[in-house]
């Protein structure tokens, strides 16, 4: 979200349940939300802003980190289970559905047993930092594509790329 906002010279403002900004692209208006709730309660923020802005569930795209994907990989899904991710679990609970798109951003699983939280919240090492720009650029492209050509064409194009 930060990369998309920065490239577009827009800034987030601190509002109810999160940091919000509006982004316009090809005739579409995006509501970008970075929840300020705990990750495992992010459904509260998502649900609130979807209701406030009258956003239908088919227009929702949740961007989430994923330990199950190698660092640098991205996968777009139209719907699915939470796969053990507490943030996705809470969003599904608050929305009453798992039928929302999610962009899974791979962060890898390069941590020792019991060190998951430190890994997820920690700093990137030198090698990991080299992989971030391409992953971020691809994620921004996917977000724009999702909103302009739809989930199916976007999945077809991006999920097959290496």
* C-alpha pair distances (Å), 62 with each of 36, 96, 128: 15, 15, 23
Least confident segment among 12-16, 32-36, 82-86 = 82-86
- Cα separation, 142 vs 161, in Å, equals 12
Domain 2-158 has CATH 3.40.250.10: no
Q: Would you list the domain boundaries of the chain? A: 2-158
**Contact criterion met (CB below 8 Å) for 33 and 49:** yes
The pLDDT of 70-84, averaged and rounded, is 89
- In the predicted structure, residue 114 carries a pLDDT above the cut 70: no
List pLDDT tens digits, range 92-103.
Answer: 999 999 999 999
State the pLDDT confidence band at 151, using cuts at 50, 70 and 90.
Answer: very high
* C-alpha pair distances (Å), 21 with each of 15, 18, 29: 10, 10, 10
């Amino acid at each position: 979200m930060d990369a998309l906002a920065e490239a577009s010279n827009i800034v987030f403002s601190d509002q109810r349940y999160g940091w919000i900004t509006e982004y316009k692209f090809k005739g579409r208006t995006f509501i970008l939300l970075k929840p300020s709730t705990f990750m495992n309660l992010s459904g509260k923020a998502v649900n609130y802003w979807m209701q406030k802005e009258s956003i239908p569930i088919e227009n929702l795209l949740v961007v989430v980190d994923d330990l199950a994907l190698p660092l640098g990989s991205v996968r777009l899904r139209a719907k699915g289970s939470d796969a053990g991710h507490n943030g996705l679990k809470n969003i599904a609970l608050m929305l009453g559905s798992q039928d929302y798109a999610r962009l899974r951003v791979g962060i890898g699983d390069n941590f020792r047993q019991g060190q998951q939280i430190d890994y997820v919240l920690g700093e990137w090492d030198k090698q990991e930092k080299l992989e971030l720009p391409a992953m971020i650029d691809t994620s921004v492209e996917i977000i724009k594509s999702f909103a302009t050509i739809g989930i199916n064409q976007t999945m077809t194009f991006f999920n097959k790329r290496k």
